[in-house]
Amino acid sequence: MNSRRTFLVSAGAAASQVLARKAAASDRVRVAVLGVNGRGRDHIEGFQGVPGTEVALLCDPDSKILAERAAQFQEKYGRKVETANDLRKVFERKDIDAVGIATPNHWHSLAGIWACQAGKDVYVEKPASHNVFEGRKLVEAAHKYKRIVQHGVQLRSSDAIQEAVQLLRKGVIGKVYMARGLVYRWRPSIGHKPTEPVPAYLDYDLWTGPAQQRPFSRRLVHYNWHWHWDYGNGDVGNQGIHETDMCMWGLDVGLPKRITAMGGKFLFDDDKETPEILSSVYHYPEEKKIIQFEVRHWCTNEEHGVGVGNIFYGSEGYMLIRGYNTYEVYLGQKREKGPSGKSGGDHYANFIKAVRSRKTSDQNGPVETAHLSSALAHLGNISFRLGRQLTFDPATEKFVGDSEADAMLTRNYRTPFVVPEKV
């Protein structure tokens, strides 16, 4: 009798363990990483580090890079990972729960919209959009299909930076009237590259996607697309999105009413189309607040020891945001040291938490902030490219009586890679 009881208990325990394993397996969030050359590498490591999350598939139109990354994945994690060249095939997969989008900028919104329509949750790299129109469409898609869409601005999940924003709201530096975003990065010349035949390992049509087709050149593929308007948004729309987001978050503002920007290329004779130097000003007349944004390359000083980050100015002092996880406060005319903090957070884990809970309130980087911080950069770029001050209506997300500027809020999409008016 005892042996029979022992057998039944053991059998029941074994069955429970099997069921538990099956439940645990079904509860895993399976992620596909789209674009694995640059930021995609961080997506792979970031998602693999979140308990209950599995990087199930890697996707890239460059078969050579894709094979390299798959081999590295197997060596590091001890298992093979599936691969695909076409992200549309990934969206068809019922066994993929979420996607990490680390493609070039011009693909971000369309890939995110398609993912939402396919029932996938989305972690999208900054900027969430290549232009203002498609950023708004990504917001609409997230809401319509009830998807979790997280913007890849890690400082949103930093405990220290969250604390810093709370202090700004409580008046630690008095009335906050100005924010400065700083992007002082060492950006060398990219030289001149000729056009050439498309490499056999690259699906260049798919890589080009929503952009108009241009002859293939190493000046575009891979990383240097950042400095070409068809694909990138310059450094204000690259590194700068972390800082545009921080400016808006800290000031507690949306899009501005007046924008002016000036800059250009002053040092290198190379293939870059975007400015090396860019100074943008975003004015909020009703709120009596202003954002100043500076992009500088090559040899330069730091501002109060900040080379990449933010400075907030108030009636009683100023706050420095250094990188993604450090803040310092200085008060009064003598700049006496105030509160400070340094601690990070896991932005990938925060996304997965929201994926599991289905609560956008759990997100640190929700889709609305993705659109607005990206749009701020786009507005500065439009002012620079037109060479004049612009007046903007944040409610309609259109310029005031300016059809020329309005035309730059979107792009001429290439079929079939079209961001739809109705998502």
Burial of residue 340 (number of CB atoms within 10 Å: 0-12, 13-18, 19+) = middle
- Asked if residue 54 has pLDDT above 60, the reply is yes
- Asked if residue 13 has pLDDT above 80, the reply is no
Distance CA 423, CA 261 (A): 32
pLDDT at 15: 37
- Asked if residue 10 has pLDDT above 70, the reply is no
Distance CA 320, CA 161 (A): 10
Q: Are 150 and 363 in contact (CB under 8 A)?
A: yes
Rounded mean pLDDT of 16-39? Answer: 70
pLDDT at 26: 57
CA atoms within 13 A on the CB side of 361: 0
pLDDT tens track for 109-132: 999 999 999 999 999 999 999 999
- Asked if residue 14 has pLDDT above 80, the reply is no
Higher pLDDT, 423 or 4: 423
- Asked if residue 4 has pLDDT above 90, the reply is no
Distance CA 124, CA 105 (A): 10
pLDDT at 70: 98
- Asked if residue 22 has pLDDT above 60, the reply is no
Rounded mean pLDDT of 248-252? Answer: 98
pLDDT tens track for 255-269: 999 999 999 999 999
pLDDT at 24: 42
CATH number of 157-344+367-409: 3.30.360.10
End-to-end CA distance of the chain: 66
Domain boundaries, given as residue ranges, for the chain: 2-155, 157-344+367-409
CA atoms within 13 A on the CB side of 134: 26
Chain-centre distance for alpha carbon 60: 18
pLDDT tens track for 162-178: 999 999 999 999 999 99
Q: Three-class SS of residue 423?
A: coil
Distance CA 220, CA 197 (A): 13
For the stretch 385-390, contacts whose Cβ atoms lie closer than 8 Å and that sit 24 or more positions apart, written own/partner, are: 385/229, 388/260, 389/258, 389/259, 389/260, 390/258, 390/259, 390/260
- Asked if residue 60 has pLDDT above 60, the reply is yes
Q: Are 71 and 100 in contact (CB under 8 A)?
A: no
Give percent of the chain with pLDDT exceeding 70: 94
H-type alpha helices, 209-331:
240-251
Task: Residue 370: name the closest of 78, 136, 63, 68 by CA.
Answer: 136
CATH number of 2-155: 3.40.50.720
pLDDT at 337: 98
pLDDT tens track for 325-373: 999 999 999 999 999 999 999 999 999 999 999 999 999 999 999 999 9
Query: What mean pLDDT is reported for the chain?
Result: 94
Rounded mean pLDDT of 210-231? Answer: 97
pLDDT at 25: 45
- Asked if residue 8 has pLDDT above 60, the reply is no
Categorize the per-residue pLDDT at 87 as very low, low, confident or very high, splitting at 50, 70 and 90.
Answer: very high
Distance CA 374, CA 299 (A): 27
Give percent of the chain with pLDDT exceeding 90: 94
Q: Are 315 and 174 in contact (CB under 8 A)?
A: yes
Q: Three-class SS of residue 353?
A: helix
Task: Residue 130: name the closest of 393, 382, 308 by CA.
Answer: 382
Task: Residue 372: name the closest of 168, 211, 135 by CA.
Answer: 135
pLDDT at 99: 98
Distance CA 243, CA 154 (A): 11
pLDDT tens track for 364-408: 999 999 999 999 999 999 999 999 999 999 999 999 999 999 999
